[in-house]
Chain A
Amino acid sequence: MISIDNVSVTLDSRSILSSISLNLEENRIGIIGQNGSGKSTFARLLNGLQLPSSGTVVVDNYDTKADGRKVRARVGFVFQNPDNQIVYPNVREDLAFGLKNIGYSKTEIEQKIEETLLEYDLEYLGDRLTHQLSGGEKQMVALLGVLIMRPNYVVMDEPTTLLDLRKKRVLMEHINELSQRVIMATHDLEQITHFDRVICIHNGKVYADGNPKEVISAYRNLCQK
């Protein structure tokens, strides 16, 4: 479980998030909100990319401030732009990067890469050059780079923003099948209608929290104002 206790984030004396307290334990959680509402900062709090100015974020009993390494091993993060997340020029090498960082041997790394590519039917991408992939393929590689490390949670910050409708659908199918708990910030409301819980952030505070239907409706009303 991820526990957020009275968290505020202030950047350059500007309040981004203020006094947020939540427990995140559902399998699928959507985060919505207008541009600049603080939803990306909220997502980044969950794996310690952003540390709270006050309050605590605890993931499976590990505080993001004190145990960043352990938190990041449990919480994978998928960025909006996969180009900034892919480190190596070749897909197989990029998938190896995270595993190498946490100390797996060369044989184990190769085995895990094969298993992961096979699991997601993406063997054909293995030897491709990352900068020659389509947007959807790049986002899949970025997602695989996270999944291969077997995190308990996958946090995504608008992962489908740069994709066309078909690629969005394919990526969402993969996301929906994940065994991990998923927390996804998005502007695309259709993608989260079947989620277990949706949280709407507005002006750095929780504006609505609950089942997707009610929260999305509240958010639509907010956008009308």
Chain B
Amino acid sequence: MTNFYYPSGSIVHRLSAGVKLAALIIFGTLIFTVEDLAGLGFCGVFLVAFFCIAQIPLRVAYRQLKPALFLLLLIFIAQYFMVGFEIAVFVVVRFSILILAAGLVTVTTRVSEMVEAIEAGLRPLAKWVAIEKVSLAITLAIRFIPVLGEIVHEVRDAQKVRGMDRNIIAVLLPTIIRTLKMATEVAEALDARSFATLDRTRTDKQKL
């Protein structure tokens, strides 16, 4: 979700995020009722058709699967030794289709739309849950994954120069300090951008 949105303006992109998430849940449930490779093949063709309708290039589709390849390999090896080759292939194909289906939702849905859908889903819990804060937390987590990656990279480089890149404490401590400092500044920025003043029951725009 951090960097996968691929704009093409297709009909799949235009579907609401709630519909896509619901479809993903249904598809993800149904795929676990399929018991043979032919059935999985049908699900795969169905999914490929949606990738085509959404005009998603092959490389973008592959990018959805790539981070999970190592995990899929581990699952395959474990299944192969425990229950045999055929079931290992079946399980890995099923997981791959599921990951690609989730990938299709992320490449065709903006984070803001996804967050709005989650907000809508949480609305019945509004009495007990601060919905805007939950959705902002999700947004920030998505937004700051690459930033945190950059911080770790910079700290490791800095410690490498001092010959300490293998010392976990030497990398961890500056990373935590920088992250906390960044968190303070982000909180201030949210404040400066009127988040702390949010009250959706008012029409603030007129009052301002």
The residue in chain A whose Cβ has the minimal distance to the Cβ of B111 is A89
Q: How far is the CA of A165 from the CA of B202 in the complex (A)?
A: 44
Q: How far is the CB of B201 from chain A (nearest CB, A)?
A: 10
Q: How large is the interface on A (under 10, 10 to 19, 20 to 34, 35 or more residues)?
A: 35 or more
Q: How far is the CB of B166 from chain A (nearest CB, A)?
A: 27
Q: How far is the CA of A72 from the CA of B191 in the complex (A)?
A: 8
Q: How far is the CB of B146 from chain A (nearest CB, A)?
A: 4
- B33 within 8 A of partner (CB): no
Identify the interface centre among A47, A68, A83: most chain B CB within 10 Å of its CB. Answer: A83
Q: Do B195 and A103 have beta carbons less than 8 Å apart?
A: no
Q: Do B197 and A131 have beta carbons less than 8 Å apart?
A: no
Instruction: Give B121-146 interface residues, CB cut-off 8 Å to A.
Output: 136, 139-140, 142-143, 146
Q: Do A103 and B205 have beta carbons less than 8 Å apart?
A: yes
Could you count the A-B residue pairs with CB atoms below 8 Å apart for me: how many are there?
A: 101
The residue in chain B whose Cβ has the minimal distance to the Cβ of A70 is B208
Q: How far is the CA of A151 from the CA of B111 in the complex (A)?
A: 27
Assess A87 versus B111: contact at CB under 8 Å? Given A101-B194, A103-B204, A104-B205: no
- B188 within 8 A of partner (CB): yes
- B200 within 8 A of partner (CB): yes
Q: How far is the CB of A158 from chain B (nearest CB, A)?
A: 13
- A34 within 8 A of partner (CB): no
Q: How far is the CB of A159 from chain B (nearest CB, A)?
A: 13
- B7 within 8 A of partner (CB): yes
Q: How far is the CA of A96 from the CA of B112 in the complex (A)?
A: 9
9 more A-B residue pairs beyond the given contacts A90-B110, A129-B3, with a C-beta to C-beta distance below 8 A? A69-B194, A76-B192, A79-B185, A83-B147, A87-B139, A87-B186, A88-B143, A104-B205, A131-B146
Query: Which residues of A are interface residues toward B (Cβ below 8 A)?
Result: 44, 47, 49, 68-70, 72-73, 76-77, 79, 81, 83-90, 92-93, 96-98, 101-104, 127, 129-132, 145-146, 149
